Homo-oligomer: A and B are copies of this chain.
Amino acid sequence: MPTESKHHHPRELPDPVICTVDVVLLTLVENALQVVLARRAQEPFRGLAALPGGYIHPATDRDARDAAERVLREKTGLQSPYLEQLGVFSGPGRDPRGWSVSVAWYALVPWEALESRWTDHLEVTSTSQVRGLPFDHERIVHEALDRVRSKSSYSSLPVHLCRESFTLPQLQAVYEATLGETINKVSFRRKMEELGFVEPIPGATTGGAHRPAQLYRLRDEFRRNLSLTDRGINSGG
């Protein structure tokens, strides 16, 4: 990858670049998408709520994904949520410490996974009103939301916001929350059948008032890989 044309001398390395990871951790509270923020323990922006992030540690991280998983673990205790790379945000101005590269990731977890390990340096904000974030974190959040919305329209992505077991009406509500629009019930169920990433849990149904609903679970093959369709789950992608 290097290209400089100094001949015969040991070549100069360019100035070092600050290498970090940032994670947009999304969850659903009462069918509204929320971002999880962590109060910063260090400068810069100490005390401010920001995306969970940190330096890449070449000594211990196996790659950038590993760094993102470590950061998530350190700040939220989450072990292995659904995690996907969003992209790189870079430049001299985004971090006051200097020219930086941040590998941004987004993660989806059911609220219940967070609730148990909650600590007071964490907070949740509705995605519709994230404001005042340091660095370029607001831009990162918005790009993550765009990505999640777009992927939700043709994949099993939103299922990772659901608990271990869920009903189809619940899953539909989750899709509607991430897509920001209502979905036709019949079409939705047809699509879920076609995509085949959920399976009914034999004999398990919801209790409570009204007709009980069949409980479903994510099929194992789709824990790490999404199920995709080209024709779209809703009308407008």
Contact = CB atoms under 8 A, between A and B. Distances in A.
Contacts of A230: 153-154, 232, 235-237
Contacts of A58: 14-17, 92, 98-99
Contact of A74 (B3, B11, B63, B236): B3
The listed residue with most B CB atoms (<10 A of its CB), out of A71, A99, A154, is: A99
A95 interface: yes
A200 interface: no
Interface stretch (A18-26, A161-169, A180-188, A211-219): A18-26
Contacts of A153: 230
A209 interface: no
Interface stretch (A27-35, A82-90, A170-178, A190-198): A82-90
Given A59-B14, A59-B15, A91-B63, A54 B2 contact: yes
Chain A: number of interface residues, binned into ranges: 35 or more
Contact of A2 (B42, B90, B235): B42
Interface string A2-17: 1111000001011111
Interface of A: 1-5, 11, 13-17, 19-22, 41-42, 50, 53-59, 62-64, 71, 74-75, 85, 87-88, 90-92, 95, 98-99, 101-103, 135, 153-154, 228-232, 235-237
